[in-house]
Homo-oligomer: A and B are copies of this chain.
Amino acid sequence: MPSLTLADLAREIGATTVGDPQLRLSAVRSLEDAGPEHVSFYHNRRYLEQALASKAGALIVADAQPFSERNLLVVKEPYAAMARVVELLNPQQRPAPGIHESAVLGANAQVAADAWVGPHVVIGERAVVGERATIGAGSFVGADCSIGTDTQLHPHVVVEAGCRVGARCILHAGVVIGSDGFGFATVGGEHRKVPQIGIVVIEDDVELGANVCVDRATLGETRIRRGTKVDNLVQIAHNVVVGEHSLLVSQSGIAGSTHLGHHVVMAGQSGAVGHIHIADGTKVSAKTAVTEDTEPGSWITGFPARPHRQWLRAMANLFRLDELRRRLAQIEAAIEQLRRQL
């Protein structure tokens, strides 16, 4: 375990220090769990009380003001700084390069000399595993696949034949890339399979959560562009394109041939129908169903999806319908009375 001083950390993350620059810190801990040898962080007002009560030796904060007599690292982005401090104090251990004796490699598979291939892995014919890539236990990399440099496959990942994964990607356990798209031609009430002969391309710096599914294209490719992060149990159908730096939160799903722009956020359990275009910067709320093209930078909510404020308004109205019904009955009574008075 390394330990670094407050001054060391400040230099690495570009922070101003408050307190003792020689204080040694060995690990990042949550506000509750931290002790005098730990650094913690405060970035969400919800946790101010805990931050004030924390026994952490030092705190990473955006504003020193609420904290008196504390050792502080003051930075603009405490959460990003915390991430960097975790890296510094917990240098990742990669397995020593090599191919486990139980792994099965197809003819002409090319594994870089400094890559690691774990136990019970299967690598198909002509597949390429890049420099420093790690292929977790039991993973399957099909024929003609490529896995980029520094990419990590956790245990039990499946990359089916012909698919390509870029550099510095992280694929968590149970990810399936290149399963067949859900394509059938229904003739006389029977669903005939449309062969899915396209591929999947995962660009650089993409992370895919546990048990995510990305289907291969019917023809051509399904593509996830660079920098996009996908949470657990997400479904990405055939011929979908997800733009750069997007976030797909857990259990969301994108139907076939839909294209997402860059910096799109699909919140948890949201979905998009097929054959639409979700514009750059669209924010789709949790549970929302996107059924048509969206405007760049829009925020939409509900099923059917509407602009978020319009949805909020509709929901407020919905839960005031009893009041509205009461007013209507009063009006009807008033009219009856007026009639009688005439």
A-side residues, CB < 8 A to B, are: 28-30, 32-33, 44, 46, 77, 79-80, 82-83, 86-87, 90, 92, 100, 102, 104, 118-120, 122, 136-138, 140, 142, 154-156, 158, 160, 170, 172-174, 176, 179-180, 182-187, 189-195, 197, 207, 209-211, 213, 215, 218-220, 227, 229, 231-233, 235, 237, 239, 245, 247, 249-251, 253, 255, 263, 268-269, 271, 273, 275, 286-287, 289, 302-304, 306, 310, 313-315, 317-319, 321-322, 324-325, 327-328, 331-332, 334-335, 338-339, 341-342
Contact = CB atoms under 8 A, between A and B. Distances in A.
Given A120-B120, A197-B90, A250 B182 contact: yes
A163 to B, nearest CB: 12
Q: This chain: how many copies in the complex?
A: 3
Given A287-B303, A314-B319, A245 B190 contact: yes
Contacts of A325: 317, 324
A184 B321 contact: no
A14 B43 CA distance: 57
A279 B303 CA distance: 25
B156 A160 contact: no
Contact of A324 (B102, B155, B210, B328): B328
A308 to B, nearest CB: 12
Nearest to A263: B189
Nearest to A101: B104
